[in-house]
């Protein structure tokens, strides 16, 4: 007489094979996603931003460690025209929302590096503005939105370690209303910054990690 345990054993074997099949399928999908990201990075992004998001030129932003959702949203804004850039628009016109998300995850997981500040004394002034703002002119503290360490949030960018020159450029664009895809809070802050404060806070940010 067959053992009553045999059907149970078969169930375990069947379930195990099903799980094994699913496990084998997942790496294939992951490999496909990684290959697509690699194709995009090597074909487009690395020219300005470097393979690992450590751009060598201060006019291009460092992307290593940048928040994934923020990267994806900026890429979508470049494609839709909400964020203006003659350089970026052609780079994203053939990419999909899935590509944007995958690139966001890719850069968010790249290793960040500490960077030496060019002018430590200027950066110390920038530290005050970043952490406390300027209560005499109404400039809000950068840390109130971007965090004390400059790591931002899913909706706000990581600032830590960004090229000082790039940060200066963005603040100037906010001041002139040339960058309009992000919230109006930045417009009201940038317009109140003096030239010295702008350069100081950009210098301080460049040394955060």
CATH number of 120-206: 1.10.760.10
Q: What gap in Å lies between CA 115 and CA 208, rounded to an integer?
A: 8
* 160-178 pLDDT per residue, tens: 999 999 999 999 999 999 9
Instruction: Give pLDDT, residue 16.
Output: 46
What's the rounded mean pLDDT across residues 187-199? 96
Same fold, 5-108 and 120-206: yes
Q: What gap in Å lies between CA 47 and CA 28, rounded to an integer?
A: 28
Is a pLDDT exceeding 60 seen at residue 209? yes
What's the rounded mean pLDDT across residues 186-199? 96
Nearest to 137 by CA among 179, 199, 190, 177: 190
CA max distance for the chain:
92
The CATH number of domain 5-108, selected from 1.10.3720.10, 1.10.760.10, 1.10.287.110, 1.20.200.10: 1.10.760.10
- Average pLDDT in the chain: 89
Q: Where are the domains of the chain?
A: 5-108, 120-206
pTM of the model: 0.84
Tokens at 192, concatenated: 């109140």
Instruction: Give pLDDT, residue 63.
Output: 98
């Amino acid at each position: 007489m067959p053992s009553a345990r045999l059907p149970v054993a078969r169930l375990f074997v069947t379930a195990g094979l099903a799980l094994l099949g699913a496990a084998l399928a997942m790496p294939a999908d992951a490999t496909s996603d990684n290959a697509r990201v690699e194709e995009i990075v090597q074909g487009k992004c690395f020219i300005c931003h470097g393979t690992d998001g450590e751009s060598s030129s201060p006019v291009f932003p460092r992307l290593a460690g940048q928040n994934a959702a923020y990267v994806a949203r900026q890429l979508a804004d470049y494609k839709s025209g909400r964020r203006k850039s003659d350089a970026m628009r052609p780079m994203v016109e053939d990419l999909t929302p899935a590509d944007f998300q995958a690139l966001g995850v890719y850069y968010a997981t790249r290793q960040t590096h500490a960077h030496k500040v060019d002018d430590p004394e200027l950066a110390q002034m920038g530290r005050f503005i970043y952490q406390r703002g300027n209560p005499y002119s109404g400039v809000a503290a950068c840390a109130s939105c971007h965090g004390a360490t400059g790591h931002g949030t899913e909706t706000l960018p990581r600032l830590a370690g960004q090229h000082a020159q790039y940060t200066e450029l963005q603040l100037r664009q906010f001041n002139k209303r040339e960058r309009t895809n992000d919230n109006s809070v930045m417009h009201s802050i940038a317009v109140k910054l003096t030239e010295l404060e702008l350069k100081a806070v950009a210098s301080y940010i460049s040394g955060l990690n």
